[in-house]
Amino acid sequence: MLKAVLKKAGYTAFVLWGISLGTFALFALAPGDPAEVILQSRHESPDPQQIQALRQELGLNDPWAVRYCSWISAILSGDLGTSWQTGRPVSDTIWERIPATLELAGAAFLVMVLISCTCGGCAAFFRHRIPDHLIQAATIIITAMPAFWLGILLMYSFSLKFSLLPTTGRGTTAHLILPALTLAAGIAMLQASVLRTSLLRIMALDHIRFAAAKGLGRPMIFFRHILPAALVPMVILWGISLGQLAGGAVIVESVFAWPGIGRLTVDAVLARDIPTAQALILVLSFIFVVVSTLVDAVHRKLDPLLGHTL
């Protein structure tokens, strides 16, 4: 067991190292001279000497291997670099922005689980009847809608037309409703259809019929025998939805002017603020690799068919 854990941890570390190399290469190969970009962002018209001086200062004239080593050693000691846009340490900005994104992602996760369980359950129990058809039609439409369009439409109808909820920004729970719903809707409908299939598959199994035959009540059958088995595929879906939520947060935070990591990424990319974008990619992929490894482990524990090896 310990050996398997260590092996998995070693492999995860290797993947993370590869990602750091890839991130570094991506930004090193990007067209445009960073020194020129920085000087222009300070609203100066740079002359060649200034650019040369700044290149020397930033270490851009060093060989690649040297630059990579100094970059990665700075990151390992906790220094994610300085933003070219604001001149502040990137780690400060990220720490400031993370709570907003966690709040949004957490709320969206709750909404997602709620919608997927309700719709998936309804569709399975009313199979081939009107609620099932309605939910399937809604799934096709909502998964084909771009999230930002759904966001704009919700904002128009709930905030502008009926003034029930605030349009943009962060603060009260009311601010959270529309962004969380926008972020969750598409993913939740896909999950609902998986839950529907999963429930129907379990309900057709022999041991369910046996449980009914021996006189067990319907709620008992559902909560003891059907639900736990049907939720196994959902665990992995909920686990990987973290990545989808983060990707969607980039869009939704921009629509609703939500001050989180996603909005920060967009701003950094559009302003060509390379240290910030680089640090964000690294931090985000670190979180995802760790989380998906954990989700995978939990899933293997829950699904006896996959075996107990890590």
Among 5, 13, 18, 306, binds another protein (CB under 8 A): 18
Find the part of the chain contacting another protein (CB under 8 A) among 74-82, 88-96, 100-108, 249-257. 249-257
Kindly report the number of other CB atoms within 10 A of residue 40's CB atom: 13
What's the distance, Cα to Cα, between the start and end of the chain in Å? 8
Examine residue 251 and tell whether it contacts another protein (CB under 8 A): yes
Write down the least CB distance from residue 218 to another protein, Å.
Answer: 29
Examine residue 255 and tell whether it contacts another protein (CB under 8 A): yes
Examine residue 152 and tell whether it contacts another protein (CB under 8 A): yes
Which of positions 20-59 make contact with another protein (CB under 8 A)? 22, 26-27, 30-32
Give the bridge partners for 82, in sequence order: 89
Write down the least CB distance from residue 246 to another protein, Å.
Answer: 5
Examine residue 275 and tell whether it contacts another protein (CB under 8 A): no
Are residues 124 and 199 in contact, defined by beta-carbon separation less than 8 angstroms?
A: yes
Among 248, 258, 275, 279, binds another protein (CB under 8 A): 248
Q: Which two tokens stand for residue 245?
A: 């939520």
294: nearest Cα among 244, 249, 242, 245: 242
CA within 13 Å, CB half, 82: 6
Coil/strand/helix, residue 89: strand
Q: Which two tokens stand for residue 157?
A: 């109808």
Phi, psi of 80 (to 5 degrees): -90, 5
Nearer to another protein, 20 or 198 (CB): 20
Nearer to another protein, 216 or 297 (CB): 297
Exposure class string for 267-295: b at 16+ Cβ within 10 A, else e:
ebeebbbbbbbbbbbbbbbeeeeeebbeb
Coil/strand/helix, residue 82: strand
Nearer to another protein, 283 or 302 (CB): 283
Distance, in Å, from the CA atom of 286 to the CA atom of 290, rounded to the nearest integer, reads: 6
Examine residue 66 and tell whether it contacts another protein (CB under 8 A): no
Write down the least CB distance from residue 143 to another protein, Å.
Answer: 7
Write down the least CB distance from residue 219 to another protein, Å.
Answer: 33
Examine residue 306 and tell whether it contacts another protein (CB under 8 A): no
Nearer to another protein, 14 or 95 (CB): 14
Nearer to another protein, 141 or 174 (CB): 141
Write down the least CB distance from residue 138 to another protein, Å.
Answer: 12
Find the part of the chain contacting another protein (CB under 8 A) among 94-102, 225-233, 285-293, 298-306. 285-293
Q: Which two tokens stand for residue 89?
A: 């340490």
Write down the least CB distance from residue 203 to another protein, Å.
Answer: 19
Which of positions 119-148 make contact with another protein (CB under 8 A)? 140-141, 143-148
Examine residue 247 and tell whether it contacts another protein (CB under 8 A): yes
- For 45, 250, 296, the CA distances from 86, given in Å and listed in that order, are 18, 20, 39
Concatenating the DSSP letter of every residue in 8-25 gives HHHHHHHHHHHHHHHHHH
Q: Which two tokens stand for residue 93?
A: 């900005």
Among 119, 192, 281, 295, binds another protein (CB under 8 A): 281
